Amino acid sequence: MNGSILPWLASALVLSGALFCLLGAIGVLRLPDCYSRMHAASKAGALGAVMVLGGVAAASSGEVALEALFALLVLLATAPLAAHAVSRAANRAGIRPIVGPLGNVMDAEHAARGEDASRTDEAAPSEGKRTQVGQGGEAPGSGLAGDGVGPTPR
């Protein structure tokens, strides 16, 4: 009975794994910015690879199951770390994420800091009127910077 189920299971796992990998790749192509693309690469890509590994374990009737399990664990540990590393690098390089109505909390903070700096500049005695624009003032989607949306800690 095992002999009849395992090949079907292996085929189903490898095929669906390949499909998820394809969806991840389509996501990397279609999503608008680096940060959104990392969602597709880390989620769909990782699940696809895990399913292919499961399919390999099933296709070999469990002979390489241990190797597949180790590969699976390594993959599950590295996929989110890689996505995190890429998005953090983008963040440090100053690449602004495209954001929706909720905005970007970092832009809001930069804008607040910029406003504070300009207020202290105005308060200080100076020869002419100076304006200092906050770093995140022109970022897309940062329109709600001062609307109280942002820090959510409790």
Partner 1 sequence: MLGLHILLAAGLAAFANALTPTGLAGAFVLVYLMLKLGAGLLQVRRYVRRVELAARFVGWFVVEVVKASLDVARIVTARRVVTSPAVLRVRLRRGDERIATLIGCLLTLTPGTLALDYEAEAGELLIHALDTDSVERVERAVREIESRLLAWIDASEPVREERDA
List interacting residues with partner 1 (CB under 8 A). Answer: 20, 23-24, 26-27, 30-33, 35-36, 38-40, 42-44, 46-48, 57, 62, 65-66, 69, 76-77, 79-81, 83-84, 87-88, 91, 97-106, 149-154
CB-nearer residue toward partner 1: 26 or 119: 26
CA atoms within 13 A on the CB side of 66: 1
Q: Residue 54's closest CA among 41, 65, 70?
A: 65
Smallest distance, partner 1 to C-beta of residue 39, A: 5
Smallest distance, partner 1 to C-beta of residue 124, A: 29
In whole angstroms, what is the distance from residue 94 CA to residue 100 CA? 18
Q: Residue 39's closest CA among 24, 17, 51?
A: 24
Smallest distance, partner 1 to C-beta of residue 101, A: 6
Smallest distance, partner 1 to C-beta of residue 50, A: 8
Q: Residue 23's closest CA among 39, 34, 7?
A: 39
**Residue 83 near residue 40, CB atoms below 8 Å:** no
CB-nearer residue toward partner 1: 70 or 122: 70
Smallest distance, partner 1 to C-beta of residue 125, A: 35
For the chain, the distance separating the N- and C-terminal CA atoms, rounded to the nearest angstrom, is 55
CB-nearer residue toward partner 1: 80 or 146: 80
CB-nearer residue toward partner 1: 69 or 133: 69
CB-nearer residue toward partner 1: 129 or 154: 154
Q: 2-30 and 34-59 are packed helices; what angle lies between their axes, rounded to 10 degrees? A: 170
